[in-house]
Structure 1
């Protein structure tokens, strides 16, 4: 069982809020994913049904920035593990992308279709307001642009809103699209997508926007999603071939693009891959960090998720830049994702190491330099 103690650095939520915010102590967490985290906040409000976790991994580069995920995890420990892994990934993503932010992530344990009520979001906004200056957030799985707008009226530390840079999903998809082309260029010597088979797992906001770009550029799409209606729409819109969710990893394709939840690449699933490139928007695609070596040994080129999917982060981070949001400047930074990937691919190949090992090494070099400065 996890134990909590009252924090010393949070201001009390305003008004008559029933929200309680506690600090999960390091010695109470028996999870390997906890390693290296600075702080974990737990917010609860029995009246609204809120159970929210905000994990702050590393703030050497600046205050934590990461999305809020709304998902009905099967247990509190599963939600906590998700938050810990995602926040650590945000640290690396921010470092590689060159932002002035650290890594954090929030998870609300709720079904976004049936339990994401205005009351629950109001309680979560109270929690965010109490964390002002320590954590900034934006959309993620289960949290929409409208939700972000709702939160922003109640908490100042919300970005990616309609009055700011907008929904980050299309910008994430933009970066992934060009990341796929960079992977093709490295592997085949050409970045042309004409006739290239791409298997897309997940047709949410990012997955759908990615499919639009891939289809327009001539790729042959194979798709899946847990929402069968979405699959039918993709078949009509893109002429896509549909597969059941459990069949997409073994699809006959040149590129596998995971764009749903994480943990899809493991020692059990990697042997079934037929694609020669893995490049998608999902966070934490690897079940274990060391599983990337299995991809390398199978001659599958892996585009590390927190590099290729950094477009959304770069865009929302730009809202907090001195002088305010400049879309042209933000998109120019997103346009550097392919070069970053190409450099990682080349370095990994020279050193005969998995791409994610090389990427983590680069990220930690930047974080340690910032901490020492």
Structure 2
């Protein structure tokens, strides 16, 4: 396996790995270990080139620093990406090679599942590294983090409702939900059970059909989700979905979803504020998964510890939105300031 250090100012360690035997092409980015060893999932995606993969890895790694700090976890921020099509290129040998790549960081970074990667994939990697979490077997195994992520997003959405609508009742509200992957489908279940009407989209036709059947959801084409006449927009797919093209099309009063790096840039956060749309900062509301995984990393078996941490995400969301309103500031900037103060200490 050939390892190449990549230049990334402001990051502690970024490495590109290429393994000819398995076909692995992967990047691990460690943004910060100020609060503890870096932790963050692995994403598999058919990036067009290494530079695009690096850009995503860096954004995601920094996001994990902020996510872990916002959730009051003694963990730093890191992320890994694999340049491959998860539907065509994934093999046990590739994931095992990835495990060897993770092991080369010697505990500086712990991986888990993310977009395009399943718990079973991580268990293949775990055959060759001690630094993989979200497993189904073992004394501290925490299992699939997706349901816990979805619960944290749902609870945070409930907390954000009063800032957008003046009350915390979601019954009768319409939610435009983008992405029906591991987390999106669980979130759809929470919203449906609470009485919300769902309009969904995904590039996976089977997932869309499942949501229509289980949750009486209406479906639209992927690009049409931004035009839906909805009260809440819940992005649960890829990042940078809130941008100069999509924000003018949104009719929702609240954005709260599970996707990472939802804002394309700072201007997107300001645009939401100017349009009167309440934005629940993504890395705050979607911290449930890493909380669940962190219990495994930290060898904590008390489920109450996880539950309390997840419930606290909604409290933090409420505090940030309250302060943002008082300052007439974008919630993402208030959230960043909140975390920067934690990191400075």
TM-score calculated relative to the size of structure 1:
0.90
Written as runs of structure 1 = structure 2, the 5 A alignment for 1:55-134 is 55-134=29-108
| Cα shift at 1:189 | 2.9
Question: What does residue 309 of structure 2 align with?
Answer: 333
- Which deviations, in whole Å up to 9, do the C-alpha atoms of 1:25-44 show, x marking residues without a partner? 34xxxxxxxx5212101111
Question: What does residue 194 of structure 1 align with?
Answer: 171
Query: Could you say what secondary structure the match of 2:26 adopts?
Result: strand
Question: What does residue 291 of structure 1 align with?
Answer: 268
1:22 maps onto 2:12 in alignment: no
1:307 maps onto 2:281 in alignment: no
Query: Could you say what secondary structure the match of 1:25 adopts?
Result: coil
| Cα shift at 1:107 | 0.2
Cα RMSD, aligned residues only: 1.1
Query: Could you say what secondary structure the match of 2:241 adopts?
Result: coil
* Counterpart Cα distance in 2 of 1:122 and 1:139: 14
Query: Could you say what secondary structure the match of 1:229 adopts?
Result: helix
Question: What does residue 213 of structure 2 align with?
Answer: 236
* Counterpart Cα distance in 2 of 1:338 and 1:263: 23
Highest CA radius of gyration, 1 or 2?
1
| Cα shift at 1:21 | 1.8
Query: Could you say what secondary structure the match of 1:336 adopts?
Result: helix
Question: What does residue 32 of structure 1 align with?
Answer: none
Question: What does residue 186 of structure 2 align with?
Answer: 209
- Which deviations, in whole Å up to 9, do the C-alpha atoms of 1:301-356 show, x marking residues without a partner? 000100000000111111122x5332221111101111100000011111111000
* Counterpart Cα distance in 2 of 1:360 and 1:352: 15
Asked if structure 2 preserves the Cα contact closer than 8 Å seen for 1:165 and 1:327, the reply is no
* Counterpart Cα distance in 2 of 1:232 and 1:316: 30
Asked if structure 1 preserves the Cα contact closer than 8 Å seen for 2:96 and 2:127, the reply is no
Asked if structure 2 preserves the Cα contact closer than 8 Å seen for 1:43 and 1:50, the reply is yes
* Counterpart Cα distance in 2 of 1:355 and 1:320: 30
| Cα shift at 1:365 | 0.9
Q: 1:342 aligns with which of 304, 308, 318?
A: 318
| Cα shift at 1:296 | 0.3
Question: What does residue 29 of structure 1 align with?
Answer: none
| Cα shift at 1:115 | 0.5
- Which deviations, in whole Å up to 9, do the C-alpha atoms of 1:14-66 show, x marking residues without a partner? xxxxx12221134xxxxxxxx52121011110121111100111111111100
* Counterpart Cα distance in 2 of 1:139 and 1:291: 28
Written as runs of structure 1 = structure 2, the 5 A alignment for 1:260-299 is 260-299=237-276
Runs of 4+ in 1 over 4 A off after TM superposition: none
Query: Could you say what secondary structure the match of 2:96 adopts?
Result: helix
Asked if structure 1 preserves the Cα contact closer than 8 Å seen for 2:163 and 2:278, the reply is no
* Counterpart Cα distance in 1 of 2:183 and 2:114: 10
Asked if structure 1 preserves the Cα contact closer than 8 Å seen for 2:65 and 2:76, the reply is yes
Asked if structure 2 preserves the Cα contact closer than 8 Å seen for 1:57 and 1:103, the reply is yes
- Which deviations, in whole Å up to 9, do the C-alpha atoms of 1:238-296 show, x marking residues without a partner? 11111000000111110000000111100121000000000000001111133100000
Question: What does residue 161 of structure 1 align with?
Answer: 135
Question: What does residue 170 of structure 1 align with?
Answer: 147
| Cα shift at 1:146 | 0.8
Q: Any gaps of 5 or more consecutive residues in structure 2?
A: none
TM-score calculated relative to the size of structure 2:
0.97
Q: 1:361 aligns with which of 330, 334, 337?
A: 337
* Counterpart Cα distance in 2 of 1:228 and 1:346: 39
